[in-house]
Structure 1
Amino acid sequence: MEATEMRRSTLQRKDRGELNQIAAALGAKPSSRARKDEIIQLIIDLTADGARIAPASDAGSPERAPDAAAESDGRAAHSSAAKGDDDDQNGGNDQNGDIQNGGNGDPVAAEPRNGNRVAERGDDEVEAGNRRRRRRSRDRDRDREDSWDGDPVAVTGRLDLRDEGYGFLRVEGCLPNRNDAYVPVKTIRQFGLRRGDQLSGTSRPANRAEKNPALLTLESINGGPAELTDRPLFEKLTPIHAVRRLALEQPEDSDAITARLIDLVAPIGVGQRVLVKGPRGSGTTELLVSIIAAIEMNEPDIYVMGLFLDQRPEDITEVRRCIRNGEMAATSFDQTAEEHVQTAEMTVERAKRLVESGRSVALVLDSLTALAQAYNAALSNAGRAYSGNVESGAVHMPKKLFGAGRNVSESGSLTMIASIVSDGSSSLPGILCDEFVGAANTEIHLDRWAAQLGVHPAVDLGASVSQDEDRFLDADEVQSLQQLRRSFSDGAGDSPAAAVKALEAALSRLRDTSSNAELLR
C-alpha cells in the first residue's frame, strides 16, 4: 500500500498529457472525459504486474521510470496521442467515462466522481492546451514532410482570390488551369494582395496530394518590388468629371472616318463611361475596333484593354491582331456562362489595380448584353426576377462593372467603352437598355437602316450625344461642333430614309476634307 501511494504521489506531479502518454505506452487509452485521478489509478493498475514506478529513494528522479516507459515505445505513444485527439473531437467512444479498459481487456473500476468541479475544469483546460501543442507539432512535422528541395520554377500570372481567403495565380489568361500556382492566405494578407494583381515569383510542383503547384516566393507585384505598400483602394478614390479629351482623329490616316465622326458627333472624355447602342448586325464590334486603333495611335499613355465576350473565334483573332500595345481577353460562343463571367470580372479587376497605381486605362467591352446573359444563366432561379425570367443580378452585375469607369482626382483614370444591344422591349436586351439610362456620359447610337443599306459607320447623328463636353472642350470648339451637328441634321427629317441620306452627306463631307479642323473652318 505504501509503494502504491508513493507511485500515486509521483504521478500526481505530472500533467494530464503526460499521463495519457504513459497510459498509451502501457497499452490503454483513457477516455477523453476521464479525470486525472482516474488516469492515475489506471496506470497504477496496469503497472501492478511489474512495470513499477521507482520511488524517490530508489532513483535520482521520481519521474524517471514513467518517462522511460513512455520513451520505450515513443512512436506508439505519439500515434496513440494523435489518435486520442481525433477521438476527442468526436466526443470519445465511452458513454459515461466511468469504466476504462485495461491493458488485458478487463474493465477497471474508476473512482467515483466526487472531485472538485473547478479542478476538473482546470484539468480540461490543461488538456486542451496540450492538444493544441500536439496539433502544432504535427503541423510542423507535416510542413517538414511537404518541404521541397528542388529547383524553383519561375511563375507569372494574375491573382484570383477565393471566398475562403486563399487564391490562385492564373498563368494562362483568366480561367483556371492545372498550371496555376496556389497562393496561401498568409502571403495574401502579408502583402495586401488583391484580385487582379500581376505577380511574379517562384513555385514548386504539386506533390501527389495536390492538384496545383504552390507559390514559394513572391518577387514582384504589378511590376514593382514585392513589399508591403499602402496603396489606395479603387473604391476609395475620388471620382471627378473628365477634364481631357480622348483624341480619336488620326492625322496620319485621313481615311479613319469612324474616329473623326465620333470626335465630331459624340466626343469622349478621358475617364468617361461610353455606351455604344445598336441592334444586332449594325457594326458595333467594328466601331469598337476603330476606337481601339485610334486610342493606341493617339494616346500612348493610355493602356488599352479589350474584353470581347461570346464571340465567334475568327472575330476574336481579328480583334486580337488590332491590339498591338495593350491586351485582350475574350471568350467564344461555345464557352460556358461561368467562363464569360470569370473572364469579365478578372479583366475589370485588373483594370482597377492599374488605376490604383496611377495608370490611365481604356477598357473596351463587347458586349454588356452578352455579359448580362451570362450572369442570367449562371445565377440560380432563387433570386428576384424581372419579366421574361430575367434575374435581377443579371442586370445589377453588368451595371456594377460598367460603373467602374471614372476619372479620379488622385491619379489615373478608367475609360469604359461598352456596347449594348438595343433590340427588344420586355426581353433581357430591352430591360438592360432601360436600366442603363443615365449611366453613361456619352452615348453613340447606331442606325439599323443605315447598316442594312451598307452605310458605315452607321452612326445615328440625331441620337448620339456627349454629356458635359464643355468640361473638356473649349467654348469655341463646342460652338463650332454644335453648328456642324445642326448642318448634319438638316434634311434628316423623321423618316429612316432621310436620316440615312443625312449620314451619307456627313460622311461625304468628311472624305472631302483631310481633318476635322478643316471641316470646322
Structure 2
Amino acid sequence: MSNLISGVLEIEPKSFGFLRQIKSNLSRLPNDVFIPPPLIIENRLLAGVEMEVTTETDKGGKVRALSVQTIHGMKPEAWQALPRFEDLPAISPQKHLALERDSKGATERLIDLFAPLGEGQRALIVAPPRSGKTMMLQNIAAAIAHNHPQHQLYVLLLDERPEEVTEFRRSIRGNVFSSSYDDNLGNHLRLAKLVLEFVKRQTETGADVVLLIDSLTRTGRAFNAGQQSSGRMMTGGLDARALEIPKKIFGAARKIENGGSLTIIATILTDTGSRMDDFIFEEFKGTGNMELMLDRSLAEERLFPAINIRASSTRREELLFGDMTEAHQKLRRAVNDLSPKEALQKMLKLLAMFPTNEAVLKKFSA
C-alpha cells in the first residue's frame, strides 16, 4: 500500500535525491523519502522543489518514491511549463514593503523613512560588532510577518550561536533554517545551497518570498573553509572561489516582471579586526540596492536603533515613495548636515512627537 508524503527535494551528486522536511530544518534524516534518478529525469525535477509523492516501504524499512503527484501544488506538467528562475525578467522593486506597525517601532519607522524596502529588494545591513544587528533583523522579520502575511518568510542562520537560533524561532512567524556553529561545515554549505534553490523554486511559481540571512560574512567564511580550494589565495586567507555561492545567494534577490518576487535582507559584518571579514565586506559592498548602515558609536551610547541615517539609502527610492518622494527628500535634507548622533537623536524626537510616519511627512510636505 502506498502513502502520500511531501517535502523539499535535495538532489545528491550521484543524481538521486531525498525529500527533506521544512519542519525538521531541511536536515538529513534516516526516514527521508528516497527519490530515484529515473523519477527525477522523467519529471525534470530541480533541487528545491516542494512536491508530493506516492511511496512504498521496502523490507528494510526504507521509504522510496513511486510517482510524483504534485509539484508546488500543481500537476507535474503544469510546473514543467513554468519559466525557470534565471529566464524570468527582473525589474527594480516598485511595491513598498512597509514595516511600520505602531508608534513605538523606531527601527521599522526609520527604515521606511530613509531606506525603504520593496518587493524584490537586495538589502544589505552593514553592522560592526555589538551594534544591534540581530535585534534589528528580528524586528524586520516580525514586521514583515505582521504587515505582509501573504509573503513567504524564511530566515537562514549560518554559524550562529544556538541560543540566537532559538530566539529567532520564538520571535517570528516564519520558517527558520539554521546550521549553528556546533554543526559541521558540510551542513553549513549544504543548507545554504538548498535554501537558495528552495526560494528560487517558490519565486518561479509567482510567490512573493522574503529571505533574511544572518550573516553573509559567516556564510563566506563557511564556504572558504568547507569547499575544495581553487589554489588561489586572496586577502586574509580567502580562497578566490569562496564567495561564488554566497554571491549567488545574495544576487538571487529580484522583482519578477508580472510575477513574484524574492526579497533578500542580509547582514554583513565590518570592523571586526579580521582581514578576511574586511575583504568579504568589500566584495559585497555596492552589490545591494539598499544599504542600512549601523554605527557602533551610537550603540555604545545606547542610542538604538543604531542607524547611521546619512549613510543609509535605497536605490530608485522614488519608485517606492511615489507621490511622497519630495517630502521624504526634504526630511533627509533636514538631517544631512548633522552628525550621525545628532541626526538619530533628532529623528527619535520626531518619532516621539508624531505617532505615524505619515504625520512626520506631512510636516515636511507643507
What is the aligned partner in structure 2 of residue 63 from structure 1? none
For residue 367 of structure 1, the aligned residue among 215, 218, 222 is 215
Q: 1 CA distance for matches of 2:165 and 2:285?
A: 29
What is the aligned partner in structure 2 of residue 266 from structure 1? 115
Q: 1 CA distance for matches of 2:62 and 2:332?
A: 58
Give the alignment's Cα RMSD to 1 decimal: 1.8
Residue 230 of structure 2 contacts residue 241 of structure 2 at CA under 8 Å; is this kept in 1?
no
Structure 1: unaligned runs, 5 residues or longer: 1-150, 493-498
SS in 2 for 1:168: strand
Q: 1 CA distance for matches of 2:337 and 2:58?
A: 69
Residue 337 of structure 1 contacts residue 374 of structure 1 at CA under 8 Å; is this kept in 2?
yes
For residue 356 of structure 1, the aligned residue among 184, 194, 204 is 204
**How far does residue 422 in structure 1 lie from its aligned partner after superposition?**
1.2
SS in 2 for 1:277: strand
2:87 aligned with 1:249, yes or no?
Answer: no
**How far does residue 489 in structure 1 lie from its aligned partner after superposition?**
3.5
**How far does residue 417 in structure 1 lie from its aligned partner after superposition?**
0.6
Q: 1 CA distance for matches of 2:222 and 2:58?
A: 33
4+ residue runs of structure 1 moved beyond 4 angstroms? none
2:252 aligned with 1:404, yes or no?
Answer: yes
SS in 2 for 1:385: coil
Residue 237 of structure 1 contacts residue 410 of structure 1 at CA under 8 Å; is this kept in 2?
no
What is the aligned partner in structure 1 of residue 343 from structure 2? 502
Larger radius of gyration: 1
**How far does residue 487 in structure 1 lie from its aligned partner after superposition?**
1.8
What is the aligned partner in structure 2 of residue 231 from structure 1? 82
2:40 aligned with 1:188, yes or no?
Answer: yes
Distance 1:520 1:382, change over 3 A: closer
Question: Under a length normalisation based on structure 2, what TM-score does the superposition of the two structures give?
Answer: 0.93
What is the aligned partner in structure 2 of residue 214 from structure 1? 64
What is the aligned partner in structure 1 of residue 335 from structure 2? 488
**How far does residue 441 in structure 1 lie from its aligned partner after superposition?**
0.4
SS in 1 for 2:179: strand
Residue 185 of structure 2 contacts residue 226 of structure 2 at CA under 8 Å; is this kept in 1?
yes
SS in 1 for 2:83: coil
What is the aligned partner in structure 2 of residue 197 from structure 1? 49
For residue 317 of structure 2, the aligned residue among 442, 466, 469 is 469
* Counterpart code for 2:42: Q
SS in 2 for 1:215: strand
SS in 1 for 2:242: helix
What is the aligned partner in structure 1 of residue 136 from structure 2? 287
Superposed CA deviations along residues 200-233 of structure 1, whole A, max 9, x for unmatched, are 223233544xx94211232221123344631211
Q: 2 CA distance for matches of 1:185 and 1:516?
A: 55
Residue 425 of structure 1 contacts residue 431 of structure 1 at CA under 8 Å; is this kept in 2?
no
What is the aligned partner in structure 1 of residue 159 from structure 2? 310
Q: 1 CA distance for matches of 2:38 and 2:172?
A: 37
What is the aligned partner in structure 2 of residue 61 from structure 1? none
**How far does residue 444 in structure 1 lie from its aligned partner after superposition?**
0.1
What is the aligned partner in structure 1 of residue 306 from structure 2? 458
Q: 2 CA distance for matches of 1:188 and 1:261?
A: 47
Residue 309 of structure 1 contacts residue 366 of structure 1 at CA under 8 Å; is this kept in 2?
yes
Structure 2: unaligned runs, 5 residues or longer: none
Distance 1:387 1:351, change over 3 A: same
* Counterpart code for 1:248: L
* Counterpart code for 2:131: S
Residue 9 of structure 2 contacts residue 48 of structure 2 at CA under 8 Å; is this kept in 1?
yes
Q: 1 CA distance for matches of 2:170 and 2:45?
A: 32
Superposed CA deviations along residues 52-106 of structure 1, whole A, max 9, x for unmatched, are xxxxxxxxxxxxxxxxxxxxxxxxxxxxxxxxxxxxxxxxxxxxxxxxxxxxxxx
For residue 332 of structure 1, the aligned residue among 150, 175, 180 is 180
Residue 236 of structure 2 contacts residue 279 of structure 2 at CA under 8 Å; is this kept in 1?
no
**How far does residue 425 in structure 1 lie from its aligned partner after superposition?**
7.4
SS in 2 for 1:267: coil
Superposed CA deviations along residues 305-359 of structure 1, whole A, max 9, x for unmatched, are 11112222222122112322x3221121111111111111111211111110011
Residue 364 of structure 1 contacts residue 416 of structure 1 at CA under 8 Å; is this kept in 2?
yes
Instruction: Report 1:376-455 matches (<5 A).
Output: 376-424=224-272, 427-455=275-303
Q: 1 CA distance for matches of 2:76 and 2:25?
A: 22
Comparing 505-514 and 483-492, the one that deviates more = 483-492
Q: 2 CA distance for matches of 1:465 and 1:381?
A: 36
Q: 2 CA distance for matches of 1:467 and 1:341?
A: 31
* Counterpart code for 2:343: A
Matched positions, count: 359
Residue 116 of structure 2 contacts residue 314 of structure 2 at CA under 8 Å; is this kept in 1?
yes
* Counterpart code for 2:2: P
What is the aligned partner in structure 2 of residue 174 from structure 1? 26
Question: Under a length normalisation based on structure 1, what TM-score does the superposition of the two structures give?
Answer: 0.66
**How far does residue 426 in structure 1 lie from its aligned partner after superposition?**
6.6
* Counterpart code for 1:319: F
* Counterpart code for 2:154: M
Residue 116 of structure 2 contacts residue 320 of structure 2 at CA under 8 Å; is this kept in 1?
no
Higher RCO, Cα 8 Å, sep 6+: 2
Q: 2 CA distance for matches of 1:389 and 1:457?
A: 33
**How far does residue 402 in structure 1 lie from its aligned partner after superposition?**
0.4
Residue 230 of structure 2 contacts residue 240 of structure 2 at CA under 8 Å; is this kept in 1?
no
* Counterpart code for 2:162: P
What is the aligned partner in structure 2 of residue 11 from structure 1? none
Q: 1 CA distance for matches of 2:58 and 2:125?
A: 46
What is the aligned partner in structure 2 of residue 144 from structure 1? none
Q: 2 CA distance for matches of 1:314 and 1:351?
A: 25
**How far does residue 162 in structure 1 lie from its aligned partner after superposition?**
1.8
Instruction: Report 1:75-224 matches (<5 A).
Output: 151-171=1-21, 172-208=24-60, 212-224=62-74
What is the aligned partner in structure 2 of residue 344 from structure 1? 192
Residue 122 of structure 2 contacts residue 253 of structure 2 at CA under 8 Å; is this kept in 1?
yes
The percentage of aligned residue pairs carrying the same residue is 36
2:352 aligned with 1:511, yes or no?
Answer: yes
Distance 1:389 1:490, change over 3 A: closer
Q: 1 CA distance for matches of 2:347 and 2:337?
A: 10
